[in-house]
Amino acid sequence: MRPEVALPILIPLLAGALSLAFWRSRAMQRGIGVVGTGVMMLSAWVLLYTTWQEGYLVMHMGNWPAPFGIVLVADLLSAIMVVLAGITGFATAIYSLATLGKRHEHFGYYPLMHLLLAGVNGAFLTGDIFNLYVWFEVMLVASFALLILGGERAQMEGAIKYVTLNLVSSALFLSAIGLLYGLIGTLNMADLADKIAQLEDPGMVKVVAMLFLVAFGIKAAAFPFFFWLPASYHTPQVAVSALFAGLLTKVGVYALFRVFTLIFSLEDPFTQNVLLWMAGLTMLTGVLGAAAQYEFRRILSFHIISQIGYMILGLALFTPLALIGGVFYIMHHIIVKANLFFISGLIYRLKGSYELRELGGVYRSHPWLALLFLIPALSLAGLPPLSGFFAKFILIRAGIEAQAWWLVGVALLVGLLTLYSMVKIWSEVFWKAAPPSAGKTPEPRTRNDALLYLSIGGLALLTVLIGLGAQPVFVLAEQAAAQLLDPRGYIEAVLGGEA
């Protein structure tokens, strides 16, 4: 009996319910927002600590034994993801205190945010594939509503694309679950992994695996299913964008990691090749798309795609080192990306524009902000000693060891191009003199700005810490990868050893 496993799901659910109950009181909702996400983050750290100490944590919901009931399972990967979700959620809650207007809050921003976090954590922690689908839907419904918060034209258009693609992906996911259940007759992931090996029809398994790949590929915005992401991510409120950018696609990536290490084996060369190609092309298209953009948030959106490529590369190479790199990359990326979106929002507040051409001179007026931007930006591009350098370094080293030369080349090239577009933002927004007709008049400075700097500075500090203290993080990722490579432990933990 491990109550820790369920807490990261229950806390945001409870916080969301309470902030609905205090519908009329804005102050109450804000308070619950910060406290709820804060407590959730704490529970996530506790979870990580206990999984680190004791290995797998399993909880059978409602005391139904596996594989009949729904189980929640935490291994190190899930625990890491939950911690990241907690950090991002907490930072977003603080950030949104200062940026969201009354109109947005009245529309139900806080309950939705908690619901989204509950869905994300549920997806990370569940050990049942249909339950994974349910959590995906919880997360999606919340994200749909958050996406159109405000109801501007661009948001509507972005939302239609986002909703359509995600519904298609959900339907595919559901079909794949149906096929899998028809084949094997169980939905518990550990049980599935146990029984799929005994199946005598490898062709059918491959079909199902590909269906899962497409479904999660859409969610993770991997090539060639990424179109919805740059069309929608730059439209909502910045706090929402940051939350999405940090977490949503990563849930897709997590699902890929989970399903393809646990249930489907990557030793099959066909599946592995498909994943490798996906990884390479995702990196390349994402970064090329970003290079062509001149809008702050669109550049960032395209970079999400190229970064997803790196993570999938880590999975696709499927060597211990590559998986370590993949996990490390996820950790680094979520924090950095959310932070970059926060900064873009802050600059919008200061200068009233997202267009690079209309911006400029921020370095002169806000040198500290410029420094804070440089930390995540250079980390994203992978310069030492920041966190991105180690993530990329591990991955490329794994690529060299696996002798996947063209992928190593692509990864290096993409790193270079990322640096290019970060430098582009730097020189356009911060360095060059402000253009004379600098958009709208900047909003008056309020004391709320301190909150923005607090969340941005906190995340930047984390980036530096991951970079400087790379060794413990590496060990953590190493353990997580070792667990991924050896699914027996997971299966035995869930089914209670007799499997």
Partner 1 sequence: MPMYSLILRSASHFLLPLLLLFSIFLLLRGHNEPGGGFIGGLVASAAIALYLFSMDVKAARQVLHIDPRELLGWGLTLAVLSGVPAVFWHQPFFTAQWLTLELPALGEVKLSTVLLFDIGVYMVVIGSVLTVLLALADADDARH
Partner 2 sequence: MAFVVGGLYAAAIYMILRRSIVKLVIGLVLLSNAANLLIFTLADMSRGAPPLVPLGALQPAGAVADPLAQALILTAIVIGFGVLAFAVVLIHRAYEVVGVDDMDKMKDTDT
CA distances, 46 to each of 8, 116, 335, 478 (Å):
10, 21, 19, 20
User: What, of partner 1, partner 2, none, does residue 18 touch, CB below 5 to 8 Å by kind?
Assistant: partner 1
d(Cα 336, Cα 351) in Å, to the nearest integer?
22
- Residue 177 binding partner 2, by CB under 8 A: yes
- 161 vs 397, which CB is nearer to partner 2? 161
Among 31, 45, 50, 170, binds partner 2 (CB under 8 A): 170
435 lies in the site for partner 1, by CB under 8 A? no
Q: Which does 179 bind (CB under 5 to 8 A by kind): partner 1, partner 2, none?
A: partner 2
Q: How far is CA 363 from CA 69, 108, 427, in A?
A: 57, 36, 9
Q: Which tokens go with 199?
A: 């199946």
Question: Which residue stretch of 48-56, 88-96, 175-183, 454-462 sits at the interface with partner 2 (rule: CB under 8 A)?
Answer: 175-183
Tell me which of 30, 60, 303, 337 binds partner 1, using CB under 8 A. Answer: 60
Rounded to a whole number of angstroms, the minimum distance from the CB of residue 280 to partner 2 is 21
Positive or negative: CA dihedral 392, 394, 395, 397: positive
356 binds, among partner 2, partner 1, none (CB under 5 to 8 A by kind): none
Q: Could you say which of partner 1, partner 2, none residue 61 binds, taking C-beta under 5 to 8 angstroms by partner kind? A: partner 1
Q: Does 250 bind partner 2 (CB under 8 A)?
A: no
Contacts of 215 (CB under 8 A, 6+ apart): 169, 170, 172, 173, 176
Q: Burial code of 370-392, b = ≥16 C-beta within 10 A, e = fewer?
A: bebbbbbbbbbbbbeebbbbbbb
Mapped onto helix, strand or coil, the DSSP state of residue 494 is helix
Binding to partner 2 (CB under 8 A): which residues in 120-149?
Answer: 130, 133-134, 137, 140-141, 144-145, 148
Residue 6 interacts with which of partner 1, partner 2, none, CB < 5 to 8 Å by class = partner 1
Tell me: does residue 22 bind partner 1 (CB under 8 A): yes
Q: Which does 3 bind (CB under 5 to 8 A by kind): partner 1, partner 2, none?
A: partner 1
Q: Does 274 bind partner 1 (CB under 8 A)?
A: no
Interatomic CA distance for residues 212 and 175, integer angstroms:
9
Among 216, 239, 212, 58, which residue's Cα sits nearest to residue 149? 239
Residue 78 binding target from partner 2, partner 1, none, CB below 5 to 8 Å by type: none
Binding window for partner 2 (CB under 8 A); candidates: 228-236, 270-278, 363-371, 447-455: 228-236
Reference 333, options 278, 277, 391; nearest CA is 391
Q: Which residues pair with 73 in a beta bridge?
A: 58
DSSP string covering 263-332: IS-TTSHHHHHHHHHHHHHHHHHHHHHHHT--BHHHHHHHHHHHHHHHHHHHHHH-SHHHHHHHHHHHHH
Residue 261 near residue 484 (C-beta atoms within 8 A): yes
* Contact region with partner 1 (CB under 8 A), list: 16-24, 90-98, 254-262, 272-280: 16-24
The closest alpha carbon to 147, from 162, 165, 135, 169, belongs to: 162
Residues 266-305 close enough to bind partner 2 by CB under 8 A: 289, 292-293, 298
CB of 9 to partner 1, least distance (A): 9
| CA–CA gap between residue 17 and residue 96 (Å, rounded) | 19
Residue 62: contacted member of partner 1, partner 2, none (CB under 5 to 8 Å, by partner type): partner 1
103-162 residues in contact with partner 1 (CB under 8 A) are 111
Q: List all residues 6 or more positions away from 198 whose beta carbon is below 8 Å from its beta carbon.
A: none
Q: Pick from 8, 18, 279, 369: which binds partner 1 (CB under 8 A)?
A: 18
Q: From the list 126, 232, 261, 285, which residue makes contact with partner 2 (rule: CB under 8 A)? A: 232
Residues of this chain that bind partner 1 (CB under 8 A): 1, 3, 6, 10, 13-14, 16-24, 59-63, 111
In the complex, the residues that contact partner 2 under the rule CB under 8 A are 130, 133-134, 137, 140-141, 144-145, 148, 151-154, 156-161, 163-164, 167-168, 170-172, 174-175, 177-179, 181-182, 187, 230-232, 234-235, 289, 292-293, 298
